[in-house]
Structure 1
Amino acid sequence: MSIIERFKDDRGALSLEAMILFPALILVLLLVVAFGRVGSANNAVDTAARNAARAASLERSGGSASSAGQQVAASVLNQQGLQCTSTSVSVFTGGFSAQIGEPASTTATVTCVVRLSDIGLPGLPGSKTLTSSFTSSIDSYRQRG
């Protein structure tokens, strides 16, 4: 068998290989994009928890700390463009009852349930619950109400 006859037998093999491989490569690429977007949404929830805890730690009373933390968390999630189907923000304010001079802290926990079709790729079924907590110190020598 000559080289020319051998090449004639392989005609169309590249097209067949491409037909098989391209959909698999596109699927892998779409999964990478989806996982990246889920990671980005997770970062948005982390940022909301961090900013909420910081805002709460700057307040002088537990009531205002809880309110400030919830407002800041909602604002950050909105700025990040994260559309939660359900959002929960809890701010632990027990540190505000500590005596002046004692170390104290406040913790904000943000939970956001998002549809995978919103954060991953359109058409993905299901939802994902993203939760993050962050603790921020309260100034030990600041007057508390």
Structure 2
Amino acid sequence: MTRVRDSGEDLSSDEGLSTIEVVVLAPVLMLFILVLVGFGLLVDARGAIDGAARDAARAGSLQRDETSAMGQARAAADADLGSTCSGPVSVRQMSAGFQAGRLFTVEVSCQVRGLAMLGLNIGTQLTGRSTAPLDPYRRAS
């Protein structure tokens, strides 16, 4: 049975409008979710870099001389950031000297690509800094 439209019937019917809304809004919603996931990955990378800086400062502060302290700090940062960074990990000593009782401060930085899954291959340089006290009772080599 077919329905014949009256000439006086309202032509502004809402039939099919919800389908069009879904077709238009579904990609927008999916893109929004992907952007949230991308920024979540950046936040996760930021936490990993802060943790690597903390571990690097602690590993360096346990050593007896400045050279081995920086070596251990680099090794700790590299171990923590193996899959997080998309390039080399930079570890710099920010404190002056390496005398007992002072503070050992390091800065860890690397480049991450948190939005690469969206096709935005924009590198973001993240940096973390941490300080650990040098043991005042340690023996120098």
TM-score interval, smaller chain: 0.7 to 0.9
* Structure in which a larger fraction of residues adopt strand: 1
Alignment equivalent of 2:28, drawn from 24, 27, 49: 24
The match for 2:88 is 86
**What is the CA RMSD across the aligned residues, in angstroms?**
2.2
Identity among equivalent positions (%) equals 36
Q: Which is higher, the Rg of structure 1 or of structure 2?
A: 2
Deviation at 1:142, TM superposition (A): 2.1
* Structure in which a larger fraction of residues adopt helix: 1
Alignment equivalent of 2:106, drawn from 96, 105, 108: 108
Please give the TM-score of this superposition, normalised by the length of structure 2.
0.82
Secondary structure of 2:81's counterpart equals helix
For 1:82, give the aligned amino acid.
T
Q: Does 1:75 align with 2:79?
A: yes
Structure 2 unmatched runs, 5+: 1-8
- Is the 8 Å Cα contact of residues 106 and 131 (structure 2) preserved in structure 1? yes
Output the CA distance in 1 between the equivalents of 2:87 and 2:93: 20
Structure 1 unmatched runs, 5+: none
Output the CA distance in 2 between the equivalents of 1:21 and 1:84: 34
Output the CA distance in 2 between the equivalents of 1:94 and 1:83: 27
Deviation at 1:122, TM superposition (A): 4.9
Deviation at 1:92, TM superposition (A): 4.0
Deviation at 1:130, TM superposition (A): 0.8
